Structure 1
């Protein structure tokens, strides 16, 4: 796989993952109420990082936003911070990737573009790790409450937003890793070319010297 094609594939994976992460942040269904053990369900509950809602049997929803940050649970604050960091890191990673890719005309020399592409890959990897940590922390809280026999409040199950976030995280990490490896491949090919040029130059010099020695010996 050529380094340019690898960069294009990596950029596609990373950008797709960043879009999924960004869409996860405002998504409603981070957790949904569990119907386990319920014969009749009159309402469904669901929550995300910003609000908690209830939908009755007629389809009418009532939501309550988390107004005070100081009153929030620690895990919820951590999830917010990690997801916002993931979105910001992915945004700058996309910009750096556009500048550092070989198929673009900006960014300076190939050496500088390779460094910028690697820097973009690091941003995407960090973005994926932040999103992965946020979704995993939130999911751990849900599963801990669900399997706790002493927890008597409403129990929840994993919502669709968590799976979207996990998928986006994997794509970001995969794309960022490919970007970092693409710079290694370009440096390797550059070293091979330099060594080939040096070897060719040495051979030319040796051939000239040999021809010169032959002329002197004939004289």
Structure 2
């Protein structure tokens, strides 16, 4: 019962993390910057993996899509690939988890369900690592440009999408580890048993009917231990 509750908890954590990771891809604010006037903010610059935009004080946004994937910076291409890989791994992890959990009626035997659930946990861990790497790479590029005194172009700050991606990555990794450990504990418990040694074997059971003595030629020789070899005789035995 405790393993089933642990699997359900791990599935909730991993699914929530996968949803957060998936929501970061279309999110606008991966990096953001503002130009302040004398009274109010005059313009807000923001960008994500697909476009760069500017929003004025009236709320009107002007966006420009990235013209070509091959002409993009390397870190944006890497972040795109890692985030798409994370979403795909999380999807297959959710499917495998539904099949391999003990509370579901599909998946076959307990051994096959445990193997499937372990695969789901590994997929969620890899999904979290891919998303964590993408968000960290993007954040490293922002911070390196911001603190570089020789960089004279527009400087940005960390957007809300990065924090959502980090949170989803941690949930996926944590839930995947819990799922793998719960399967390991359940398999260890199921293989634990007790050895039974019977009092007599089938070969020692007499085949003769009850009430009939076994012939002397068929009787096994008596077994003597080291302590039973000392025979007890009376005092006239040596005379």
Same fold (TM over 0.5): yes
**Counterpart for residue 46 of structure 1:** 46
> Pairwise mapping of residues 7-26 of structure 1 onto structure 2 (< 5 A)?
7-26=7-26
**Counterpart for residue 4 of structure 1:** 4
Post-superposition CA distance 1:76-101 (Å, at most 9, x none): 00000000000000000000000000
CA distance in 2, matches of 1:58, 1:91: 40
1:80 aligns with 2:80: yes
**Counterpart for residue 181 of structure 1:** 181
TM-score by length of 1: 0.88
**Counterpart for residue 116 of structure 1:** 116
Distance change (3 Å), C-alpha of 1:133 and 1:191: same
The answer to whether the 8 A contact 2:34-2:43 is kept is no
The answer to whether the 8 A contact 1:100-1:113 is kept is yes
Unaligned segments of structure 2, at least 5 residues: 206-212, 214-239
SS for the counterpart of 1:42 is strand
Larger Rg: 2
CA distance in 2, matches of 1:42, 1:128: 38
Aligned-residue offset at 1:206: 2.5
CA distance in 1, matches of 2:74, 2:199: 72
CA distance in 2, matches of 1:68, 1:58: 30
CA distance in 1, matches of 2:119, 2:179: 9
Post-superposition CA distance 1:133-176 (Å, at most 9, x none): 00000000000000000111111100000000000000000011
> Pairwise mapping of residues 70-219 of structure 1 onto structure 2 (< 5 A)?
70-192=70-192, 195-196=193-194, 199=195, 201-202=196-197, 205-206=198-199
SS for the counterpart of 2:182 is helix
Unaligned segments of structure 1, at least 5 residues: 213-218
CA distance in 2, matches of 1:159, 1:85: 21
Count of residues in correspondence between the two structures: 204
SS for the counterpart of 1:104 is coil
SS for the counterpart of 1:206 is coil
CA distance in 1, matches of 2:134, 2:163: 12
Aligned-residue offset at 1:67: 2.5
CA distance in 1, matches of 2:55, 2:62: 7
CA distance in 2, matches of 1:74, 1:154: 19
CA distance in 1, matches of 2:20, 2:67: 26
